[in-house]
């Protein structure tokens, strides 16, 4: 009897080892802080996918720049060194400039409109451009409305922006927007941002309230304004070949798990954004509310940026984005 039990135990161990060896691995790299809503969503993705596949697909998540900055994560996924990343869409625009069509200044009046656009025909069209560069899109999370901070003065008019050296994401539309406002924009990876602010290499930066809080930029910035100049997405992209190598069932499980994670993140992001503003003010930042007159001036000064984007990308895509945005607002 003991011999039988031992034999069965040995077989069970062998099967366990074979199962472990057979498990697919998905490595996920990101630059967002562990406590950010998107990083929490990726943990939910891990739980859901491993549950849906009965552990046949395992997920290893590396947030907070553990595998490099945003630009490095994008490149790692493109070449297949990492299977998946979640990253601010701006970091993909150098490779897929068509993504600039959903990053125009003052393009979306609210988050609901923004998501109606990317979840429909516009998102499907962008998927085609991503696929040409060996990416498969798994959807869009919320990065949010971007707000301006600096260490020089309160920003209450366009004149207050003039001359400020502002760090921006490596996105030509974003850079052109701040040039139109009279600032000196500098493209810089997020991994360098805190130290650049601390050392006074740059005067300011722009990010959603939740990012400003979790990245502790309030420690090295004095002034905050709710300019809301862009609504920014987080692109979730996989290496196309690596995803296609999974079985059809596992590919479907990846998409299902990510859909759950994205829905969770969008809801949490909106909540975190509002709460973050209150805490930033409590931390000692000087907050300036943007007046209707100031907002109108910001829009007027940046109106020509959209025209420059139209000249650089597929005109059919640009027309589609305009039509879908108008429809979503009605």
C-alpha to C-alpha distance for 157 and 256, rounded to whole angstroms: 45
**What global pTM score does this model have?**
0.90
In a domain, 7, yes or no: no
Give the residues across from 61 on adjacent strands. 28
Residue 22 confidence (pLDDT): 60
In a domain, 225, yes or no: yes
In the sheet where 57-62 sits, what is the strand order?
57-62, 24-30, 84-88, 231-239, 135-145
In a domain, 4, yes or no: no
According to DSSP, residue 291 is labeled: P
Q: How far apart are the first and last CA of the chain?
A: 75
In a domain, 8, yes or no: no
Label the pairing between strands 57-62 and 24-30: parallel
Q: Is residue 98 within 8 Å of residue 130, measured between CB atoms? A: no
Q: What are phi and psi of 300, to 5 degrees?
A: -65, -40
C-alpha to C-alpha distance for 54 and 40, rounded to whole angstroms: 21
C-alpha to C-alpha distance for 210 and 214, rounded to whole angstroms: 6
Q: In 10 A of CB 296, how many CB atoms? A: 10
CA distances from 22 to 7, 194, 219, 238 (A): 22, 42, 47, 21
C-alpha to C-alpha distance for 180 and 118, rounded to whole angstroms: 26
In a domain, 10, yes or no: no
C-alpha to C-alpha distance for 167 and 190, rounded to whole angstroms: 9
Mean pLDDT for each consecutive 10-residue tract of the chain (330 residues)?
42 40 88 96 98 98 96 97 97 95 96 98 98 98 98 98 97 96 96 97 98 97 98 98 98 98 97 95 97 97 93 92 96
Label the pairing between strands 231-239 and 223-225: unpaired
Q: Is residue 186 within 8 Å of residue 167, measured between CB atoms? A: yes
Q: Is residue 40 within 8 Å of residue 142, measured between CB atoms? A: no
158 alpha carbon, distance to own chain's centre: 27
Please give the torsion angle defined by the CA atoms of residues 131, 93, 33 and 189, in that order, rounded to the nearest 10 degrees.
140
CATH number, domain at 110?
3.40.190.170
Structural domain that includes position 88: 15-329
- Work out the angle between the directed axes of helices 315-329 and 303-312 (0-180°, nearest 10): 140
Nearest partner of 221 among 279, 285, 276, judged by Cα: 285
In a domain, 145, yes or no: yes
How many structural domains is the chain composed of? Answer: 1
Work out the angle at residue 185's Cα, subtended by the Cα atoms of residues 184 and 188, and round it to the nearest 5 degrees: 140
Strand, coil or helix: 205: strand
C-alpha to C-alpha distance for 206 and 245, rounded to whole angstroms: 39
Give the residues across from 228 on adjacent strands. none
In a domain, 9, yes or no: no
In a domain, 5, yes or no: no
CB within 8 Å of 314: residues ≥ 6 apart: 98, 129
């Amino acid at each position: 009897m003991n011999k039988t039990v031992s034999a069965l135990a040995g077989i069970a161990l062998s099967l366990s080892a074979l199962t472990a060896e057979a498990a697919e691995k998905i490595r996920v790299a990101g630059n967002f802080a562990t406590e950010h809503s998107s990083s929490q969503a990726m943990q939910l993705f891990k739980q859901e996918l491993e549950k849906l596949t009965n552990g046949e697909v395992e997920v290893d998540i590396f947030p907070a720049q553990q595998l490099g900055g945003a630009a490095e994560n994008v490149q790692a996924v493109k070449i297949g060194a990492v299977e998946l990343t979640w990253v601010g869409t701006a970091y993909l625009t150098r490779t897929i400039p068509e993504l600039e069509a959903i990053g125009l200044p003052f393009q979306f009046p609210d988050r609901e409109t923004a998501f109606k656009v990317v979840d429909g025909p516009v998102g499907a069209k962008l998927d085609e451009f991503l696929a040409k560069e060996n990416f498969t899109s798994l959807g869009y999370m919320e990065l949010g409305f971007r707000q301006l901070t600096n260490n020089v003065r309160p920003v209450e008019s366009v004149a207050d922006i003039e001359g400020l050296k502002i760090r921006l994401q490596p996105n030509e539309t974003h850079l052109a927007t701040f040039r139109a406002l009279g600032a000196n924009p500098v493209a810089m990876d997020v991994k360098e941002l805190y130290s650049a602010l601390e050392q006074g290499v740059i005067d300011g930066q722009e990010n959603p309230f939740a990012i400003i809080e979790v990245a502790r930029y309030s420690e090295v910035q004095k002034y905050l304004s709710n300019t809301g100049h862009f609504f920014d997405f987080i692109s979730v992209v996989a290496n196309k070949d690596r995803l296609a190598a999974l079985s059809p069932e596992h590919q479907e499980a990846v998409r299902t798990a990510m859909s759950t994670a994205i829905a969770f993140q969008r809801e949490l992001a909106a909540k975190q954004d509002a709460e973050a503003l209150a805490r930033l003010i409590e931390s000692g930042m000087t907050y300036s509310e943007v007046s209707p007159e100031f907002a109108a001036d910001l829009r007027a000064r940046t109106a020509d940026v959209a025209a420059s984007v139209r000249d650089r990308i597929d005109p059919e895509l640009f027309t589609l984005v305009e039509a879908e945005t108008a429809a979503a607002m009605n």
